[in-house]
Every structure is written in structure tokens, then in C-alpha cells.
Amino acid sequence: MKNIFLIHSLNGNTIDSFAGSVEKFCKDNNIDYYYPIFPIRAEASPESWGSILDQYVKNGILNSESMVIAHSIGTKFIPKYLVKNNINIDTFVSVAGFVDYSGTRTDYIVDVMKVFKISDEEFHNCKNLIKNKYSIYSNNDSNSPLEKCVKYAEKLDAEKVLVKGAGHFTIKDGITKIEELNEIMKKYINK
């Protein structure tokens, strides 16, 4: 059963930026859409997020035909989660995925980045669990320089999609819709 999941960022502010356009796309195309709400900021951890996503796996909703779109820290969580649980999905789209964080350094962000860090082994093992991989990133992301976003895409063997001037794809960056993401979703539902 095809469906689309959107995994939010550390602060949960994905809902204020492009989440609405993903939901609209899904409604317009009659495809099920899921937006799990995870603990944010200092409360975020792969375990706390995983326990929520486990329910979707247990119910057969997150499955080998699913598309998962992840934003920021979500791009670290999904590969870790798929590998840990040996879950296959059809399509993964990372939005503002990065290998090393360069943004604001508060104590909780440093701690959270450590627990969400993806090992090279996890990157390697994750590649075989996803049929189609895309990495959308910008040339002016305030949290991660371009080369860290490109490196993320390369470690995942993802198709690279550069969106100029989109920052970290937040409402602060003026992002409420990502046209390139809509094109990827169209490909997904039409195959």
C-alpha cells in the first residue's frame, strides 16, 4: 500500500514550512499521508522517535511501498531506524540532510546530534533497504555548508537535487513548498 510519511525536524518546525504542501499534494492525489509528531529539542532521541514509528510498522502502514520524506534531523533518524529494524521502503527523500552539523551550538543540540549521528556502516546498510533515494539541499543552508549536504547525498548514494537559495527549508527561509519535492512525489505515485 503506497503512502507518504513526513518526518519533521528537531524543533518540529517542518509543519510551519513545507508540510502543508505535502499534505495538500497527498489529498489532491488521494494518497494516504502520515505526519508523526515526535519529541522535540532536548527530548528528541532515536529511541523516543523509534517507539512512535514502531506503531506504524506494527500496523503495516510503514512498509516496503512507503515513501518517507525527512527534514533536517529526520534525515539522520530514518537511515538509523531502517537499519536497526531491517525495514525496506520504496522511496526516501532527505530535505536538508547533512553529515555534520554546523549551526547553533547549544548544549542540547550537541547532545542530540551525537545520538542521531549515522555511522558509515549504517549509511552502507541503509542503501540496500531503499529502492529510490533523493537528497534535496540548498547552497545557503545556515546549519550545514553545501559540502556537508553533498557528502550526505553521496554516503546514501542518493540522487542530488540542489535548490538554490532555500536555506534550511524553513518558514524563516521563506519555504512553504518545494517544487522539486512535488516532482519526486509525482514520480512515486505514478509508477
d(C-alpha 154, C-alpha 26), whole Å: 29
Rounded distance between C-alpha atoms, residue 91 and residue 18, angstroms: 18
Chain mean pLDDT for the chain: 95
pLDDT 10s digits, 96-113: 999 987 677 777 788 888
CA distance 132 to 123: 14
CATH number of 3-189: 3.40.50.1820
* Residue 4, H or E segment: strand 3-7
With a threshold of 0.75, does the pTM exceed it?
A: yes
Q: Residue 58: its pLDDT value, please?
A: 98
Predicted local distance difference test score (pLDDT) of residue 107: 74
Close Cβ partners of 154 (under 8 Å, ≥ 6 residues apart): none
Per-residue pLDDT, 16: 96
User: What angle (nearest 5°) sits at the alpha carbon of residue 143, between those of residues 142 and 144?
Assistant: 100
Helix (H) / strand (E) containing 91: strand 89-95
Given a cut of 70, the residues of the chain with pLDDT beneath it are 102
